[in-house]
Amino acid sequence: MVPKFHNFFLTKPLADKFRENVSGSKDGRPDWVNSIALGEDEGLFGVDSAVWQVHGSIATLVGGIRALLLQAAHPAPLAGVAQHSRYESDPMGRLAGTTKWLTITTFASKEVIQREAMRVNAMHSHVKGEYQAKDGKSHNYRAEDPRFLLWVHCAFTDSFLKAHLALGYPIAKGADAYVREWSQSAIPLGLDSAPKSVAELEATLDDFRKNDLARVRQTLGVVKFILKPPFGLGGRIFYKVLVNAAIATLDKNELQILGLKQRNRRWLKVARLLLDLFMAILGPESPSQQVARERIARLSK
Which domain range does residue 250 map to? 12-299
**Residue-level pLDDT at 124:** 78
**Residue-level pLDDT at 3:** 43
What sign for the dihedral angle of Cα 36, 49, 198, 222? positive
Q: Would residue 4 count as lying in a domain?
A: no
Q: Would residue 1 count as lying in a domain?
A: no
Using DSSP, how many helices (H) and how many strands (E) does the chain show?
Answer: 14, 2
- Quote the CA–CA distance of 58 and 27 in Å, as a whole number: 15
**Residue-level pLDDT at 22:** 60
- Quote the CA–CA distance of 243 and 156 in Å, as a whole number: 16
**Residue-level pLDDT at 84:** 52
The total number of structural domains in the chain stands at 1
Q: Would residue 2 count as lying in a domain?
A: no
DSSP state letter for 32: G
Give first-to-last CA distance, the chain, whole Å. Answer: 55
**Residue-level pLDDT at 23:** 57
**Residue-level pLDDT at 83:** 65
**Residue-level pLDDT at 94:** 55
| pTM score, whole prediction | 0.89
Q: Would residue 16 count as lying in a domain?
A: yes
Q: Would you state the torsion angle of the CA atoms of residues 63, 69, 71, 72, taken in this order, to the nearest 10 degrees?
A: 170
Q: Would residue 295 count as lying in a domain?
A: yes
**Residue-level pLDDT at 14:** 61
Question: Could you state, in chain order, the average pLDDT of each consecutive group of 10 residues for the chain (301 residues)?
Answer: 42 61 61 91 96 95 92 86 57 64 95 94 81 81 86 96 98 98 95 96 96 91 85 79 96 95 96 90 86 92 69
